[in-house]
Amino acid sequence: MNENAYLGEERVGKLLFKFAVPCVLSLIISCLYNIVDQIFVGHGVGPLANAATGVIFPVTVVGWGLSLFFGDGAAAYLSISLGKKQPEKIHKCVGNAMLGSFVTGGILILAAYLWGDDLLMLIGGTEANIPYAHTYGTIVYAMIPLALVQNCLAAVIRADGAPRYAMIAMIAGAVLNIIGDPIAIYVLRLGIAGAAWATILGQFVSFLLCALYLLRSKTFRLNLKSFVPDFRVLKNVCRLGLSSLFTQLCIVITTIVNNLLFVKYGYQWNAESGGDIALAAFVVIMKLFQIVLNIAIGIAVGAQPLVGYNYSAKKYARVKRLLLLVLLWTGGLCLLCTVFFEAMPNLFIAMFGGANGDFDPALYLKFAIPCLRIYLMFITFGCLQKVCSIFLQSMGLARLAAPLSFLRDALLIFFAFLMPLGLGVMGVAWAAPAADAAALLITAPVMIRIWRKLTALQKSEPI
């Protein structure tokens, strides 16, 4: 169990690079499942089918949020327990987190199947895209319980000191998905159903690889008792994972609100097909947003075991150094992405095949290009705010992290309802930079207070 002592001794920058890079790659690869589907579906089936995958997106994100609720909570529990040199109940927290992920995944797919197309219409489906959404969702839902366990285990594996293994497990599934999509869509001519089958195949392989890791884990060994519900342990896991759950649920809520508002004001902008055009464009923008957000979250989550260990071990100077590096790396990479989005929006729109098939390409581009530039304008601010929330969660400050985790999204919903009243459909897009800027302004004083607290604690830090 002492092999994790290097978390409090190795150079901070080297450790962060070791943990954050595989974590960033893992998260980007995980979102590639949906993004790759959209690229192949957009080119091989059409923009309406692309919009349909965006309709299913909130359901899959709810699942993702539940897996992080248990997975990130268990990862934080593991790191804090090691820092305090109290590893006895780690196997319980991992077993209970896996059980919680599987059970809640089963409940989610039961609700999705029983609710059916009414659910899809409620979260942004239209008469034109609902047949595609129904086909895609019916297949993808089936894998959700095991996909949740896999996501949960990936977080635990990273905290257990094996971020590369978690990355390899994700890459293997993503590669199968990327290979399977063109075969299923173009060769087997399965259309959007083929994209769904390729997705669940990749997810299943990733699940198997993550499950196999349990045979070689470093800081715990699972047995049958690990899966017996221990509500005291589960309470701590859920408390530490609450911020991650809120973050994902807020993405769901904001996606649904944006879906509905883009459709509503899109039809006011162009009565014939404006709603579907606006929705198809927004789906592409959300995928780009998801990539950048996963870069930021990957850096913060990669730092999680380092922060949890060092904060619990009272090595506050190292925690401060980690905070600085997380903010600098996040800000720099997100700013670089913003430059590309603002300079070459046509390239990213064309990547998803949106200007072909179902409606006027010129009209689609007329809307999609300025919408992309506006919506992603201040994405760096939004990502910095999100990583601050995750950093506080890593320190075990769940009560402070939880409200910050949904701050940006609450502001986004407020502005999304307010700004279209004067700006029409583009007002929905302008809500994003307004929320990003406001959320960072509110979060900054909180982080300044945390920095001062760490500085005060540093004076009593053991030499």
Distance CA 277, CA 43 (A): 16
Q: In a 3-state reduction of DSSP, which class is residue 162?
A: coil
User: Tell me, what's the pLDDT at 44?
Assistant: 66
Q: Are 24 and 304 in contact (CB under 8 A)?
A: no
Residues 6+ apart with CB under 8 A from 75: 155, 156, 158, 159, 301, 304, 305
pLDDT per position as a tens digit, 408-451 = 989 999 999 999 998 888 898 999 999 999 999 999 999 999 99
**362's tokens:** 């010129």
DSSP letter, residue 407: H
In the three-class reduction of DSSP (H, G, I as helix; E, B as strand; rest coil), residue 89 is classed as: coil
Helix (H) or strand (E) holding 456: helix 425-458
What integer pLDDT is reported at residue 125 of this predicted model?
72
Q: Which amino acid is at 114?
A: L
Per-residue model confidence (pLDDT) at position 378:
95
> Alpha-carbon dihedral of residues 431, 432, 436, 439, nearest 10 degrees?
50
Q: pLDDT tens digits, residue range 29-38? A: 766 666 766 6
pLDDT at 211: 93
Pick the closest to residue 169 from 15, 19, 23 (CA basis): 23
Distance CA 328, CA 203 (A): 33
Query: What is the rounded CA–CA span in Å between residue 67 and residue 358?
Result: 36
Give the residue from 375, 372, 406, 370 showing the smallest Cα distance to 390: 406
Q: What is the pTM of this model?
A: 0.72
Residue ranges of the chain with per-residue pLDDT less than 50: 1-2
Query: For 77-98, what is each residue's pLDDT tens digit?
Result: 887 787 777 777 788 888 999 9
Report the distance separating Cα 185 and Cα 204, nearest Å: 20
